[in-house]
Amino acid sequence: MVILGGIVALAVAPVFGNRLFTVLWGVEPLTYLGAVAVIIGLGFVSISYLVMRPANAGAAQGGSVPIDMAQWSRTTLQYFELFHHDLGRPLRRILGKERELRAMLAAGEINQSPAVKDLLDEIERQAPNFRLMMSNIQVLIQLESPESPAELQPVEPAQVVRRIVDRYSAVASEAGKEVTWWAEPAEFGIIYTDSSAIEHVVANLVDNAVRFATTHVEVKLTRNPTHFFIRVWDDGPGLPAQYRPHVFDRGWTPEAARGQEKTSSGLGLFIARTLARRYGGELTVEAVTAPSPDHHTAFLLSLPLGPGANGSSN
């Protein structure tokens, strides 16, 4: 722009030269200094813009400033811990009061209105959701980390399933639903895997199943010589065929698909499948929809038994 202006000025100088010269001498000297400062400033901005642009583009492509992803992930986790503690404290207080109220209700110390019990049940029901939500966020941060998965430890999968059923059976029975589990063979033995990863996956599956079941949820643990399987089945209306390809998408929920308000984050199944694959396994879904009398939804998690697995059956 500056150069172009100069050329134009040179071209028109013979035409206006004399008159312009006379007019310019009539202007205050300070204005000249100001104009010079403006031109130098504009030139400086233009030059710095032209020079810096390629450098910025280089940085954006990941060349010149390396970001330590592992460090970033650790810092995020530390922030998460702080945040979790701060959020957990008031939540524990609320739940504590809810349980005190429930005990008072049971002891007949306050008016035993069914509406009050329903409200307390609703508060209680949200607590396991909160636990799952927080652990999902934590796993999500860990999944972003470039560090390799945790070291494999000896795990009793029956024990993992038992813990999750303990956690959900009280919630389910409040809603008139039952969670049943079993292992085949009954003495399932020990396998080498990451117990917290299985716990995350199965907790997400059972949470879902309890939500959609009509009356029953079944969790079945089986194995073959190379893999073990956890099947989580519910007798709900069955996941419609058009939704099955999307059920593992990040953020997808059936409500969102129908354009309604979401009641969950839609992260659970995404995390479950990502974790299953990270450990060399897979997570699949099958369903039969109502009005078929056999309507149900079942998720099947399969994971390798791991090195040196033993078992009473083999």
For binding to another protein (CB under 8 A), which residues are involved? 80-81, 84-85, 88, 91-93, 95-100, 102-103, 124, 127, 130-131, 134-135, 138, 150, 153, 162-163, 165-167, 169-171, 178-182, 184, 186, 195-196, 199, 215, 218-219
Closer CB to another protein, residue 57 or residue 175? 175
CB of 269 to another protein, least distance (A): 20
Give the number of other Cβ atoms within 10 Å of residue 180's Cβ. 12
CB of 112 to another protein, least distance (A): 12
β-strand partners of 220: 182, 231
The Cα–Cα gap between 182 and 177 comes to 17
Q: Give pairs for 69-72: CB < 8 Å, separation 24+.
A: 69/144, 69/145, 69/146, 70/145, 70/146, 70/147
CB of 139 to another protein, least distance (A): 10
Q: Are 193 and 152 in contact (CB under 8 A)?
A: yes
CB of 251 to another protein, least distance (A): 22
The Cα–Cα gap between 113 and 183 comes to 41
The Cα–Cα gap between 214 and 199 comes to 24
Give the number of other Cβ atoms within 10 Å of residue 164's Cβ. 24
Closer CB to another protein, residue 154 or residue 254? 154
Closer CB to another protein, residue 52 or residue 186? 186
CB of 297 to another protein, least distance (A): 17
Closer CB to another protein, residue 181 or residue 279? 181
Closer CB to another protein, residue 16 or residue 79? 79
